[in-house]
């Protein structure tokens, strides 16, 4: 079963998103050890959508489904330009503090916490979709970043 | 929800709850008032995102410039992972939770 809800494009929605994940994990019996990483990934991806797609008021759809050994989460963002999160550069974490900037850290972190991240965009529907997976046995997603092009985008 | 407070008699700072993007501006307002070298007790910090890390980074830069710093104590395994993945374990002195 999939748990889903649409969220207003505002940082004020973050607590409601966390409430949705907690509810989905409880109802689907998903391992709560995965909750921290899933909440972090959802916050980072959602806040990116809010910050960088400012020309739309469309709500962001979040869908959460149990999979074997873990969870799959999809965020769908309507009426937006493409923003491929799988293409963002890693942060150089070896820089001295004087040269460190917080920008880009969110996507850098979630690549290390998730098993996989997929991005697809429908030009026709102006719709971005990000799907990520986190399982108990999974490994970091650095080698599993996928741009699916328009394959099944926002169907 | 997030609560941040000074511990009386110079006992540092406690932070309780979730430091996410919605709470980061309020957290930054608090940390902008911090001076010198302080201990931040993270034993009841349940969650931190990149927005929260940004607050800590900005504060650490400001304090180091004037000879101070933040030390993180009571760091749980989730927070330790985040600090390690972000390289912040090289920027902050970290004491893990017992």
Read off the pLDDT of residues A18-47 as tens digits, 9 standing for 90 and up. 999 999 999 999 999 999 999 999 999 999
Among the listed residues B21, B33, B43, the one whose alpha carbon sits nearest the alpha carbon of residue B96: B43
Question: Which parts of B35-76 fold into alpha helices (H)?
Answer: 50-65
Q: Closest CB to A102: pick one of B53, B78, B90.
A: B53
Residue A18's contacts (CB-CB under 8 Å, 6 or more residues apart) are A39, A42, A43, B18, B20
Q: Name residue, tokens 């607590």.
A: A15
Which of A39, A105, A111 has the most B C-beta neighbours within 10 Å, making it the best mutation to test the interface with B?
A105
B64 lies within 8 A of chain A by CB: yes
What share of chain A has pLDDT > 90, as a percent?
78
Residues 3..32 of B with a Cβ closer than 8 Å to A: which? 18, 20-22
Q: Can you give the pLDDT at residue A146?
A: 72
Residue-wise pLDDT tens digits, A113-132: 999 999 999 999 999 999 99
Report the distance separating Cα A88 and Cα A65, nearest Å.
26
Measured in angstroms, the CA of A98 and the nearest CA of chain B are apart by 7
Residue A93 pLDDT > 90: yes
Q: Can you give the pLDDT at residue A67?
A: 96
Which domains are present in chain B? 2-96 (3.30.750.24)
Q: Which residue of A has its CA nearest to B79?
A: A36
Q: Is the dihedral of CA A143, B57, A14, B7 positive or negative?
A: positive
Point out the residues of chain B with pLDDT beneath 50. none
Tokens of B86: 């972000």
Q: Can you give the pLDDT at residue A144?
A: 61
Report the distance separating Cα A106 and Cα A115, nearest Å.
16
pTM for the predicted model, two decimal places: 0.93
What residues of A are in contact with residue B21 (Cβ under 8 Å)? 11, 14, 43, 47
The mean predicted confidence, pLDDT, of chain B is 96
Tokens of A11: 């940082």
pLDDT grade, residue A1 (50/70/90)? confident
Q: Which residue of A has its CA nearest to B2?
A: A15
Residue A143 pLDDT > 60: no
- Give the burial string for A112-148 (b: 16+ CB within 10 Å, else e): bbbbbbbbbbbeeebbbbbbbbbbeebeebeebbeee
CATH number for domain A2-147, candidates 3.30.70.141, 3.30.420.610, 1.10.287.110, 3.30.565.10: 3.30.565.10
Q: Can you give the pLDDT at residue A54?
A: 85
Residue A142 pLDDT > 60: no
Q: What does the domain layout of chain A look like in residue ranges?
A: 2-147
A87: DSSP letter: G
What residues of A are in contact with residue B62 (Cβ under 8 Å)? none
The mean predicted confidence, pLDDT, of chain A is 91
Q: Can you give the pLDDT at residue A151?
A: 59
Residue A155 pLDDT > 90: no
ipTM of the complex: 0.94
Residues of A with CB under 8 A from a CB of B: 11-12, 14-15, 18, 36, 39-40, 43-44, 47, 91, 93-95, 97-98, 100, 102, 105-106, 108-109, 112-113
pLDDT grade, residue A53 (50/70/90)? confident
């Amino acid at each position: 079963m999939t748990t889903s809800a649409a969220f207003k494009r505002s940082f004020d929605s973050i607590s409601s998103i966390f409430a949705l994940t907690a509810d989905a994990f409880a109802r689907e019996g998903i391992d709560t050890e995965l909750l921290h990483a899933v909440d972090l990934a959802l916050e980072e991806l959602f806040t990116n959508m809010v910050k960088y797609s400012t020309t739309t008021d469309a709500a962001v759809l979040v869908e959460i489904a149990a999979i074997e050994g873990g969870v799959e989460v999809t965020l769908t963002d309507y009426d937006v330009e493409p923003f491929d999160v799988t293409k963002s550069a890693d942060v150089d974490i070896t820089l001295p503090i004087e040269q460190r900037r917080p920008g880009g850290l969110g996507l850098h972190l979630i690549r290390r916490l998730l098993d996989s991240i997929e991005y697809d965009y429908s030009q026709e529907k102006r719709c971005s979709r990000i799907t990520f997976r986190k399982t108990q046995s999974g490994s970091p997603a650095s080698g599993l970043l996928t741009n699916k092009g328009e394959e099944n985008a926002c169907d | 929800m997030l609560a941040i407070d000074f511990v009386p008699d110079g006992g540092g700072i406690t932070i309780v709850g979730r430091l996410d993007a919605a709470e980061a501006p309020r957290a930054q307002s608090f940390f902008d008032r911090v001076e010198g070298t302080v201990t931040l007790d993270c034993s009841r910090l349940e969650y931190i995102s990149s927005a929260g890390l940004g607050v800590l980074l900005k504060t650490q830069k400001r304090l180091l410039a004037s000879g101070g710093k933040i030390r993180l104590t009571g760091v749980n395994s989730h927070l330790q992972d985040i600090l390690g993945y972000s390289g912040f374990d090289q920027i902050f002195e970290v004491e893990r939770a017992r």
